[in-house]
Structure 1
Amino acid sequence: MSPDQAVLRRAIERGEQEGGSVEFKERLTEDLHLAEGRLESLAAQLRHRILSGDGEATYVVGVTDDGGLAGISPEAFSESMDVLSLLADEAGAHIEAVQTWGVDSASQTTDPDGPPATADTDTDTAPEGIVGVATIREGAVLEDDDHIVVGTAGHVDHGKSTLVGTLVTGSADDGEGSTRSYLDVQPHEVERGLSADLSYGVYGFEDDEPVRMDNPDRKDDRARVVEESDRLVSFVDTVGHEPWLRTTIRGLVGQKLDYGLLTVAADDGPTKTTREHLGILLATELPTIVAITKADLVSDERVAEVEREVERALRDVDKTPLRVERHGVDAAIEEISETVVPVVTTSAVTMDGIDQLDAMFERLPKTAGESGAFRMYVDRSYNVQGVGAVASGTIKSGTVEAGDELLLGPMPDGTFREVEVRSIEMHYHRVDEAKAGRIVGIALKGVTEPALERGMVLLPRDADPDPVREFEAEVMVLNHPTRIGDGYEPVVHVETISEAAQFFPTDGQLLPGDSGEATVRFKFRSYLVEEGQRFVFREGRSKGVGTITSVETDD
């Protein structure tokens, strides 16, 4: 039996006891279990289980009263989780995590010693039933109003992951990147859970004191930080290798970030990649902090030299550097903007500069989400047993609630499909509502996971979207070996869209360092874009940024 199945086995073996924390439910339905009087009774039962478990209860769903693996349909399981979420809220608690297993007819038995048969998650081989274990903890779901998301960038080996590892754990690095290993997030953790927490590190603050992680790879450790903190800081990873700049662009353009954190190693100084990452961060108008890392490896004279190089690089792009060591944290928090860039010198080994970064992240304000109707661009999609297709991403504007009817698209033919929100997950918690700026996973009814594609958008049912193949833009060429002429074909990254496009400069050509107008046409299909959106384009070593100035609606 796998460790995951062992969780189910232990819950069944513990069984329902009068003074225990485990409860068996075959299924929960809105009509029956949320009826007047029944909700209060079941919430009291849940509260009893939580108190018996010292703040934690375990609900096994899809089993009979004696622990037999009955299994229920994915639709019934999703409804059961929605009902359980409401019961938990009524009891002053929340669902912290859900694990599911597929069971076939051969495993549907009253023998608790028979291990559940784990089914393939592909839709073609769906299990006959679902059994799940929900962990419920005391306390309401985190109010996410004071949660900032920081996008990290920097050249490879410039200490980006090590610095973040030290921030989220409070542990000094051993000089060999020991804290970097904390951030090796495994894809299966996202695929098996319901969360869409896209960050690769998170820590928080309570009463101005840091709440750190012991092991960022453990979902329950992340949940603990979320539970204990009244202020959260998430880091969205971007990679430094030149061949993977596409992923960096995805992290910087495709997420609703509040701040950027650019690392520059003191033993190497600003590189070509550093300047490109800086250009992308600042071109997208993201308030940015520069952290000079590895100060312990070089002399004070070398640190001062790199600080001057960073300041020159910032002034070259019309930004004002603000040395935090000289001007203080208060000034950095007050002045950080699209034009003022705080610079902090750090060492993950000696912990120099970590207190300053802590102080800044603890007090930097959340940037306001966009107003207006709900809109979310799909960043990732996956299939979860018992839940179905899940679209994850950052809410661009508005709010979304469980039960909302939405439009999803554009599909390859330019149309939009009607879908319904089954449930919403945020930070490993099921929530009833989420708003602009939140990283969420939305389980959808009316679509299968293979039909979900990155770059699609979720909108209210009454929206009237007009996807386009072509738009006008103001562009700036950051780097190109020659000139850009008519028919130039880079990949354009706007929101979570990554698509080949053709450029047609208004003046016929654009040279490196030039800014000018151009018509941009998606090569293969239409997407939903709008005026004011910023984008990055790249092809080989060529890179540039732009802003959409007008859109041409498809006929």
Structure 2
Amino acid sequence: MEAAAAADAVTELKRRVDTLCVSSDDSKKQEVDESNQEKLSANGDVAAEDEAEKLRTLRIAFVGNVDSGKSSLIGTLIKGDLDDGRGLSRKVIFRHKHEEESGRTSSVATVYMGFEDSGEQILSKRAGKLIPWVELAKLAHKRIQLIDLAGHEKYLKTTVFGLTGMQPDIVVVVIGANMGVKRMTKEHLAIAVALEIPIVVALTKIDIAPKNVAKETLQTIRQSLRRYGKMAMLVKTLEQAETAAKSIPSNRITPILPLSNVTGDGLANLRRIFFEASPTALFKATLAATTLAMTKSNNQEEALATTADGGSTNTKSPTGLGDLIEMPIDETYQVPGVGFVVAGTLVSGTFKINDMLQIGPDHNGQFHKVTVRSMESMYIPLKEIVPGQTAAISLRSVNKRYALNRTTFRKGMILLSPQVNVRDYVSQTFDARVVILHHQTTVTKGYQPMINCRTIRQTAEIVSIESSQDVIRTGDRALVRFRFIHAPEFLKKGMRFVFRDGQAKGIGKVVRIVPPGSG
């Protein structure tokens, strides 16, 4: 009996041990499965980021004084051939005959360059020829849009629209080493800083600049950057270029690249910066800066809004539209067989073909329902567009009574999600914190400058100034109320803008949208 009891006890003990072992194995298996799931999720996130990086086009605007070599630099970069010193490279950039004759850019010109995943630039196999955009888009691991802006003071309005409306990720300030830092260069630099766009300085014509002049120009550039709280970084090697590219999204360090379009010195460093610069990181940095500006605007102007609105406060999220669709339109086309096409860069949200959106505001401040017929980027059809991506979109009006064409379109119109309550953002009157960059006399009530905010380009009148003397001069800051002259516009808190009348006069930040009827 005792032997049988002992045997039963041993059997029971073995069963319990086996149960514990199985339980332990199951637990370990579950832990392994969870670990693998986390790894797969992380890998999926990385893959999604990589795919988004490929879809986004890095947008780079070139500014600087007339004759500094902007167009020649762009032409040299995209062709892969050196300039002859007499403007050979820039001919591929110019859009008008008078530009070729004068050698000066008067309009916004855009071209593309692309890189393989190894960092090698994709060039045409035919010497001196440009590779077609369709072929470039298919082959490129990374695509870059180069925006050539005018340097002459006469065309400043075009340059300002390019900087505000085309939303560049980086601004390349081109300065001739033999010319020094001219007044228009300083204005372009001030505008880029005010709009919080990362800056790269290209110091051109080092092959013909006397050493003492080039040294003095470099010193002036350093001083100008220091005045804006930026640290200059001289880039002369590929390793320095890689380091500089990674620091650009912080918007604290400004690379300076000495180069020559004739000898080719320094061009490889600039190409490396373009290849290494991440459009995703730059887009996120810009979005974070905008969100911070909107949060500050809400905090600083809460008392103002409470007083003006009779005690009510705005309880909206400081991030504004959040994940809802927001796409400013910077260009329109009427394509035979396709219809009305708009182009722009998506700020937030995503949408697909056949999705319904709303477009506006029109001349009366109204929005209209539209559907997405087709989309493409660099001639490649798209099924979906992601934030930071630039695309051309064919639209169809839902209401047949509303004709959607270039006649009914106006600058400043935007594509939004259907559920956005546009009354919270559309108004003819707004308050802004402004600073005067340059003005020969004083700015007073009744002054009517041109407002450039994203794609908005409309004259507005100053209806009130909150300052000690009710006037503002160069360097002064004040809270100002503006009223658009012609039509309401879509605005959000934190948006930055430039106001001018001929040359740049000042910059501002929207702090409050004044509801219609209360301004």
Amino acid at match of 1:519: R
- C-alpha deviation, 1:330, in angstroms: 3.5
The 3-state SS of whatever aligns with 1:360 is helix
- Which 5+ residue runs of structure 2 have no aligned equivalent? 1-50, 98-107, 288-321, 398-402
What stretches of structure 1 move > 3 A for 4+ residues in a row? 141-146, 213-220
Partner of 1:488: 447
| DSSP 3-state at the match of 1:211 | coil
TM-score normalised per structure 1: 0.69
User: What is the aligned partner in structure 2 of residue 537 from structure 1?
Assistant: 499
For residues 512-540 of structure 1, what are the alpha-carbon distances to aligned partners after superposition, in whole Å with 9 as ceiling and x for unaligned?
Answer: 01222211111121011000111011012
Alignment correspondent of 1:292: 203
Give 3-state SS (helix, strand or coil) of 2:283's partner.
coil
**Equivalent residue runs for 1:368-447 within 5 Å:** 368=283, 370=287, 372-446=323-397, 447=403
Q: Judge conservation of contact 1:168–1:213 (CA < 8 Å) in 2.
A: no
Report the equivalent of 1:276.
Answer: 187
Instruction: Give per-residue Cα distances to partners, 1:471-517, cap 9 Å, x unaligned.
Output: 11111111100111111110000110000001232111111012222
Please point out which of 464, 477, 480 is paired with 1:515.
477
Q: CA deviation at 1:215?
A: 8.7
**Aligned residue identity for 1:182:** V
For residue 202 of structure 1, give the secondary structure of its aligned residue in structure 2: strand
| Residue of structure 1 aligned with 2:240, choices 319, 328, 335 | 328
| 2:81 counterpart of 1:171 | yes
Contact 2:52 2:386 in 1 (8 A): no
Q: Deviations over 1:230-268 (max 9, x none)?
A: 011111221111011111111111123211101001121
Counterparts in 2 of 1:88-103, with a 5 A limit?
none
1:428 maps to a residue whose letter is Y
TM-score by length of structure 2 reads: 0.74
Counterpart for residue 254 of structure 2: 341
Equivalents in 1 of 2:353, 2:359: separation in Å?
A: 16
Shift of the 216–406 alpha-carbon distance from structure 1 to 2, 3 Å rule, reads farther
The corresponding residue for 1:132 is: none
Q: Which amino acid aligns with 1:476?
A: V
Structure 1 residue identity aligned to 2:349: G
Question: Does 2:169 correspond to 1:258?
Answer: yes
Instruction: Give 1:220 deviation, angstroms.
Output: 6.6
Taking the aligned partners of 1:483 and 1:448, their CA distance within structure 2 comes to 43
CA distance in structure 2 between the partners assigned to 1:541 and 1:286 by the alignment: 20
Kindly provide the CA deviation profile for residues 68-87 of structure 1, in whole angstroms up to 9, marking residues without a partner as x.
xxxxxxxxxxxxxxxxxxxx
8 Å contact from structure 2 (residues 187, 504) kept in 1: no
Q: How far does residue 541 in structure 1 lie from its aligned partner after superposition?
A: 3.4
Q: How do 1:237-248 residues align onto structure 2 when only pairs under 5 Å count?
A: 237-248=148-159
Change (3 A) 1:541 1:146: closer
SS in 1 for 2:83: coil
Could you tell me which runs of 5 or more consecutive residues in structure 1 were left unpaired when the two chains were aligned.
Answer: 1-140, 188-197
Residue equivalent to 1:506: 466
Given residue 74 of structure 2, which amino acid in structure 1 is its aligned partner?
A: V
- How is 1:188-199 mapped onto 2 (pairs within 5 angstroms)? none
User: How far off is 1:218 after superposition?
Assistant: 8.6
Deviation at 1:288, TM superposition (A): 0.6
The equivalences for 1:14-413 within 5 A come to 144-185=54-95, 200-206=110-116, 207-213=118-124, 221-325=132-236, 328-336=240-248, 337-366=250-279, 367-368=282-283, 370=287, 372-413=323-364
Pair 1:238–1:470, CA change in 2 (3 A): same
Distance, in Å, in 2 between the alignment partners of 1:238 and 1:385 is 29
Q: Distance in 2 between matches of 1:215 and 1:382?
A: 31
Counterparts of 1:452-467 in structure 2, within 5 Å, are 452-466=409-423, 467=426
2:404 counterpart letter in structure 1: T
Task: Note if contact 2:498-2:504 (Cα within 8 Å) is conserved in structure 1.
Answer: no
1:431/1:185 Cα in 2 relative to 1: closer, same or farther (>3 Å)?
farther
Contact preservation (8 Å) 1:205, 1:232:
yes
Distance 2:171 2:275 in 1: 15
Deviates more, 1:350-359 or 1:446-455: 446-455
* AA at the equivalent of 1:549: V
- TM-superposed deviation, 1:427: 0.7
> What's the offset of the Cα at 1:184?
2.6
Compared CA separation, residues 425 and 479, structure 1 to 2 (3 A): same
Instruction: Output the CA distance in 2 between the equivalents of 1:147 and 1:407.
Output: 25
Kindly indicate which of the two structures has a greater share of residues assigned to strand.
Answer: 1
Aligned-partner Cα distance in 2 for 1:242–1:476: 21
- Give the number of the structure whose alpha-carbon radius of gyration is greater: 2
Cα displacement (A) at 1:270: 0.7
Distance 2:361 2:255 in 1: 40
Map 1:543-554 onto structure 2 (within 5 A).
Answer: 543-554=505-516
Letter in 1 for 2:166: Q
- Superposed displacement of residue 146, structure 1: 5.0
Over the aligned positions, Cα root-mean-square deviation in angstroms equals 2.3
Compared with structure 1, are the counterparts of its residues 486 and 372 closer, same or farther at alpha carbon in structure 2 (3 Å cutoff)?
Answer: same
Asked if the contact 2:79–2:129 (Cα under 8 Å) also holds between the matched residues in 1, the reply is no
Q: How many Å separate the matches in 1 of 2:355 and 2:127?
A: 33
Contact 1:142 1:226 in 2 (8 A): no
Letter of the 1:232 partner, please give it. R
The 3-state SS of whatever aligns with 2:422 is coil
Moved more, 458-467 or 174-183: 458-467
**1:335 Cα offset (Å):** 2.8
Task: Report the 3-state secondary structure (helix = DSSP H, G, I; strand = E; otherwise coil) of the residue aligned with 1:485.
Answer: coil
Change (3 A) 1:177 1:214: farther
Distance 2:323 2:148 in 1: 29
Greater helix fraction, Structure 1 or Structure 2: 2
Structure 1 residue identity aligned to 2:508: G
**2:316 matched residue in structure 1:** none
AA of the residue aligned to 1:356: N
Identity %: 30
**The residue matched to 1:397 in structure 2 has which SS?**
coil
Indicate conservation of the 8 Å contact 1:267/1:297, yes or no. yes
- Cα gap change, 1:261 to 1:445, in 2 (>3 Å): same
- Determine the C-alpha separation between the residues in 1 that align with 2:503 and 2:396: 42
Q: Tell me the distance in 2 between the aligned counterparts of 1:422 and 1:339.
A: 42
Q: State the alpha-carbon separation in 1 of the partners of residues 503 and 167 from structure 2.
A: 26
